[in-house]
Amino acid sequence: MLLEVKNLHAGIDGKAILKGLNLQINKGEVHAIMGPNGSGKSTLAKVIAGHPSYEVMEGEIIYEGKNLFDLEPDERAREGVFLAFQYPVEVPGVSNSQFLRLAYNEKMKHLGQEELDPLEFNDYLKEKAKVVEMDSSFFKRSVNEGFSGGEKKRNEILQMAVLEPKLAVLDETDSGLDIDALRIVAAGINKLRDSEKAIILVTHYQRLLNYIEPDFVHVLANGKIVKEGGKELALELEEKGYDWVKAAAK
């Protein structure tokens, strides 16, 4: 098993948001986590990535046999955990390519593999940018600064392509995308899907799942998984809305 979340209770400022969440993910699988606004989807994503504002009150997460909470956020990343942010952060004055090369080389160093110099990395980056049909004019620009909502999301997937994580948590990567951008981003994610990697797709809408077929769908409400099933569950949610799961959660 790649990731096992056991009875996770976590929250912010002493307030519990996740209240006993369980999840098991194997290599090669794609899991969709759906749920109404405020149900705790981003909280789960941030806790996996190690955001310092969130506190874990109970439970554990085992990643590749290790206690994830023993690792700092940057160590988790170098060990192959990746979070595509719901709201990607702008980093003024730091170019996309500088940033990506540093991140890539940190990971390579960690794995004892060869780092790339700027020229080599540029070739690598160009290849990866094709995954999300991203123009090389974005490389020199400051990270996410002045990017449109859709461009920011694409940039997240570019980062995922560059860093080749084992576990990618994509937090509402579909929101704010028009239909063309959605198709491109979804195709990019599908290209990155393989038997060695697992993906958690956090989404509010079923729309994304038309393009990326999940192996499992989990419905989160009020900090707990209240329903689980295959991809057909997403369609059911689309049809019935979230009210019935919310009711179930109470």
Partner 1 sequence: MTEGLVKETIYGNFFKETLSNIQPEWLKDLREKSFAVFTAKGFPTLKDEDWKYTNLAQLVREQFTIRKNENIDAKKISQLFSETENENRVVFANGIFNAELTNISDLPEGARVLNLGEAVEDETFGVTVREHLGKFVNAETNGFTALNTAFLNEGVFIFIAKNTRVETPIHIAFVADGEAASFPRVLVVAERGSEVTLIESYLRTGEAKYFTNSIIEIVLADDAKLKHTRVQRESHAAFHVTTTAASLNRASVYDSTNITLGARLSRHDINVKFNAEGAEAFVDGLYLVSEEQHADTHSVIDHAVPNCVSHQNYKGIVDEKARAVFNGKVFVRENASGTDAQQSNKNLLLSNDARVDTKPQLEIFNDDVKCAHGATVGQLEEEELFYLLSRGLNEDLARNLLTYGFAEEIINKIEIESIKKQLDEAVLNRLHANLEA
Ligand X SMILES: Nc1ncnc2c1ncn2[C@@H]1O[C@H](COP(=O)(O)OP(=O)(O)O)[C@@H](O)[C@H]1O
Q: Are strands 216-221 and 91-95 parallel, antiparallel or unpaired?
A: unpaired
35: partner contacted, choices Mg ion, ligand X, partner 1, none (Cβ within 5-8 A by kind): ligand X
Long-range contacts of 235-243 (CB under 8 A, 24+ apart): 235/206, 237/34, 237/206, 238/205, 238/206, 242/35, 242/36
Is 86 a residue that touches partner 1 (CB under 8 A)? no
Least Å distance between CB 111 and ligand X? 32
Nearer of residues 59 and 80 to ligand X, judged by Cβ: 59
What CA–CA distance (Å, rounded) separates 172 from 153? Answer: 9
Listed in sequence order, the residues at least 6 apart from 117 whose beta carbon sits closer than 8 Å to its beta carbon are none
Contact positions vs ligand X (CB under 6 A): 12, 17, 35, 37-43, 53
Nearer to Mg ion, 53 or 137 (CB): 53
Quick check: 107 binds partner 1 (CB under 8 A)?
Answer: yes
Q: Which does 118 bind (CB under 5 to 8 A by kind): Mg ion, ligand X, partner 1, none?
A: partner 1
Q: Determine the length of the chain.
A: 250
Contact pick of 6, 110, 183, 246 for partner 1 (by CB under 8 A)? 110
Q: Does 54 bind partner 1 (CB under 8 A)?
A: no
Q: Residue 189 and residue 165: Cα distance in Å, rounded?
A: 12
242 Rama class: left (phi>0) / alpha (psi -120 to 50) / beta: alpha
Work out which of 121, 138, 147, 216 binds partner 1, going by CB under 8 A: 121
Compare residues 151 and 174 and give the one whose CB is closer to Mg ion. Answer: 174
Q: Which two tokens stand for residue 151?
A: 């461009």
Using CB under 8 A as the binding rule, whether residue 89 contacts partner 1 is answered as: yes
Q: Does 73 bind partner 1 (CB under 8 A)?
A: yes
In whole angstroms, the minimum distance from the beta carbon of 37 to Mg ion comes to 7
For residues 84 and 174, give the distance between their C-alpha atoms in angstroms, rounded to a whole number.
11
> Does residue 92 interact with partner 1 by CB under 8 A?
yes
Asked if 74 interacts with partner 1 (CB under 8 A), we say yes
Q: Is 42 an interacting residue with respect to Mg ion (CB under 5 A)?
A: yes
Q: Residue from 42, 43, 155, 159 that binds partner 1 (CB under 8 A)?
A: 159
CB of 215 to partner 1, least distance (A): 25
Q: Which does 83 bind (CB under 5 to 8 A by kind): Mg ion, partner 1, ligand X, none?
A: partner 1
Interface with partner 1 (CB under 8 A): 49-52, 72-74, 76-78, 82-83, 85, 88-95, 97-99, 101-103, 105-107, 110, 117-118, 121-122, 139-140, 142, 159, 163
